[in-house]
Homo-oligomer: A and B are copies of this chain.
Amino acid sequence: MRPGVGISPGNVPVYYGGGHLKAVERRVKVAEVVLRWVIFGLGVLGAALVSSDTQVREIFSLEKKAKFTDMKALVFLVIANGIAAGYSLIQGVRCVVSMIKGSVLFNKALAWAIFSCDQVMAYTTLAAVAAAAQSAVLGEFGQSELQWMKICDLYGKFCTQVGEGLVSSFVVSLSMVSLSGLSAFNLFRLYGNNKGKCSGSW
């Protein structure tokens, strides 16, 4: 493998054997592309599962309908999944293009933008999953101390589908968490302590 070349501030050319680091870079890139497309797919799936979920039950000749808008946390989950999917589609395309071009991310402004967006998405999707999971637990088990009845005995099919959507969303948020770690790596290594073309220009 061709060694990378760095120029020290004293203009002494310093050769370094960057083979190992390049292999790491390649792995990081592949992982990023895979995760972005996983998030896109599962984000769409999660949003579709939850938002299409309804069940009608007849109780004492009274028709009652459960839908995802009955729980605000599920609405938040659908929105978060939708945004995550849309964002990952855009980023996924960017990743594929940069892989085809073979370009490496050295632009600090872009690295900061990607890092920030990934962080926001990771925390948003995780918060949405946590809130929806809390609602789901209340639906499944109720909270007798507060006279909140369990509803999943009544709307079994509805609850199962919400559960499937939650699992999908949970994988989305885990993938976003991993991605935000990768984009942190991509950003902060530009601030390496070993002064060169990339570091120290805060």
Contact = CB atoms under 8 A, between A and B. Distances in A.
The secondary structure that dominates the A interface is helix
A177 interface: yes
A194 B130 contact: no
Contact of A188 (B71, B129, B184): B184
Interface in A151-202: 151, 177, 181, 184-185, 187-200, 202
Contact of A189 (B71, B191, B196): B191
B202 A193 contact: no
Contacts of A119: 177, 181
Interface string A124-135: 001111111111
A16 interface: yes
Nearest to A5: B195
A202 B14 contact: no
Contacts of A128: 130
A98 interface: no
Contact of A195 (B21, B129, B177): B21
Contacts of A130: 126-128, 130-131, 134
29 contacts: A8-B8, A9-B16, A9-B17, A10-B14, A12-B14, A14-B195, A16-B195, A16-B200, A21-B191, A21-B193, A71-B143, A122-B123, A123-B126, A126-B126, A126-B127, A127-B127, A130-B131, A130-B134, A131-B133, A134-B134, A134-B135, A138-B148, A139-B146, A184-B184, A187-B188, A189-B193, A190-B193, A192-B196, A194-B199
Interface of A: 4, 6, 8-10, 12, 14-18, 20-21, 24, 70-73, 106, 119, 122-123, 126-135, 137-139, 143, 145-149, 151, 177, 181, 184-185, 187-200, 202
State the 7 A-B residue pairs at the shortest beta-carbon distance, nearest first: A192-B192, A194-B196, A16-B195, A188-B188, A127-B130, A184-B184, A131-B134
